[in-house]
């Protein structure tokens, strides 16, 4: 125990992160009106729960729709209370973490790096020339 607080084991935190990610995904699918925006563009990449289970960051990736990302994230944040309520009903924990939705751009950054790498041309290696100098 650290400073009187219980620190949860890492493997349990990983399981809780995945459980919350799956449950939040299902809740979003039920709550979001497909006429508002393209739900297929939204991916919950990670959920990171604090060791005391009081807070959780929900990392949301929005593919495409570069001009509308902030608007889509605001709409998701507008649904925060409903998402929180539905998750609390479905996932029984001592504490239901307070969810914070955060835009995750790591996938786009990875795609950009891969794009740069694919454009790099590697010169062909020339066959080694035998050494013509003789040593005596």
* Residue pLDDT tens, the chain, 136 long: 454 455 557 788 888 899 899 999 888 888 887 777 777 778 888 999 988 888 999 998 887 767 777 888 888 888 888 888 888 888 888 878 888 888 887 766 777 787 787 788 777 766 666 666 666 5
Q: Is residue 43 part of a domain?
A: yes
Give the pLDDT score at 1: 47
Q: Any idea what the CATH number is for the domain that residue 97 is in?
A: 3.30.300.20
Q: Is residue 114 part of a domain?
A: no
Give the pLDDT score at 21: 92
Q: Is residue 132 part of a domain?
A: no
Q: Is residue 64 part of a domain?
A: yes
Write out the chain in H/E/C secondary structure.
CECCECCCCHHHHHHHHHHHHHHHHHHHHHHCCCCCCCHHHEEEEEEEECCCCCEEEEEEEECCCHHHHHHHHHHHHHCHHHHHHHHHHHCCCCCCCEEEEEECCHHHHHHHHHHHHHHCCCCCCCCCCCCCCCCC
Domain holding 84, by residue range, is 10-109
Q: Is residue 133 part of a domain?
A: no
Give the pLDDT score at 136: 55
Give the pLDDT score at 135: 60
Give the pLDDT score at 4: 43
* Residues in a beta bridge with 56: 49, 99
Q: Is residue 124 part of a domain?
A: no
Number of domains in the chain: 1
Give the pLDDT score at 57: 92
Q: Is the pTM of this model over 0.75?
A: no
Q: Is residue 85 part of a domain?
A: yes
Give the pLDDT score at 62: 81
């Amino acid at each position: 125990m650290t400073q009187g607080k219980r620190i949860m084991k890492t493997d349990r935190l990983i399981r809780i992160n995945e459980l919350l990610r799956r449950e939040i995904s299902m809740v979003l699918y039920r709550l979001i009106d497909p006429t508002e925006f393209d739900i297929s563009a939204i991916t919950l990449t990670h959920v990171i729960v604090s060791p005391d289970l009081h807070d959780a960051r929900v990392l949301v990736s929005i593919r495409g729709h570069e001009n509308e990302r902030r608007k889509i994230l605001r709409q998701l944040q507008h649904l925060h209370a409903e998402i929180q309520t539905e998750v609390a009903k479905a996932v029984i924990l001592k504490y239901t973490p307070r969810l914070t939705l955060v835009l995750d751009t790591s996938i786009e950054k990875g795609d950009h790096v891969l794009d740069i790498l694919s454009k790099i041309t590697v010169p062909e290696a020339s066959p080694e020339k035998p050494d013509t100098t003789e040593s005596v």
